[in-house]
Amino acid sequence: MELNQVDPESPDARRCLAAYVCELNRRAPRRGFDPRQGATAEPHEVRPPHGAFVVAYLDGEAVGCGAVKHHPQHVSDIKRMWVAEAARGQGLGRRLLAHLEDLAREHGSTHVRLETNDVLREAIALYRSAGYLEVDRFNAEPFADRWFAKPLDPPPLAAIVPEP
């Protein structure tokens, strides 16, 4: 798997986001997920220096995405994380989540947070196994049922202090 930072309005990003929205609507048809009504990140909020948008590629095909949106209080939000159903079960979601956390850490964030919907049981299990704890609602996302946060460990000293 290859993880590439891309523009959030690139063709691969748009394809992944469209597939993510289709999946949400398929899995929760009564909720009628509409990203324009949610507390989502606008494209400029997930472009450097405010954030990043990442697409996951498997054999050259875009099979997942996620974004990180930085806040001034040393907190970053993980947004729109998704892996195609056909690519699940290979650890791609875990690698993508770890990569987004690394981007938040590199920006100086000490915590990451995210929200999700109850129908995304696999995502909830992933977040819990990655050390996320359920917290009180921190935004007005109308399509979320659960909110999670995680403290970020500092990077290893060797990554901070160059060798002489």
Assigned domain for 83 exists: yes
Does residue 163 form part of some domain? no
Query: Rounded mean pLDDT of 58-86?
Result: 96
- pLDDT, the chain, mean: 90
Assess if residue 161 is contained within a domain.
no
- How many domains does the chain contain in total? 1
**3 state SS of 142:** coil
Question: Which structural domain, as residue segments, surrounds residue 23?
Answer: 2-155
CA nearest to 53, candidates 77, 35, 86: 77
Strand 146-151 with 2-6, pairing: unpaired
pLDDT value for 153: 84
Nearest CA to 106 among 70, 73, 82? 70
* 102 inside domain: yes
Q: Answer whether residue 74 is part of any domain.
A: yes
Angle between helices 121-129 and 92-107 (to 10 degrees): 60
pLDDT value, residue 143: 85
* pLDDT tens, position by position, 88-101: 999 999 999 999 99
> Is there a domain that residue 20 lies in?
yes
For the segment 122-142, the average pLDDT, to the nearest whole number, is 95
Tell whether 94 is covered by a domain: yes
Q: What is the CATH number of the domain that holds 21?
A: 3.40.630.30
Is residue 160 assigned to a domain? Answer: no
Q: Which pLDDT score, from 0 to 100, does residue 35 have?
A: 61
For residues 55-69, average pLDDT:
97
Q: How confident is the model at residue 155 (pLDDT cuts 50, 70, 90)?
A: low
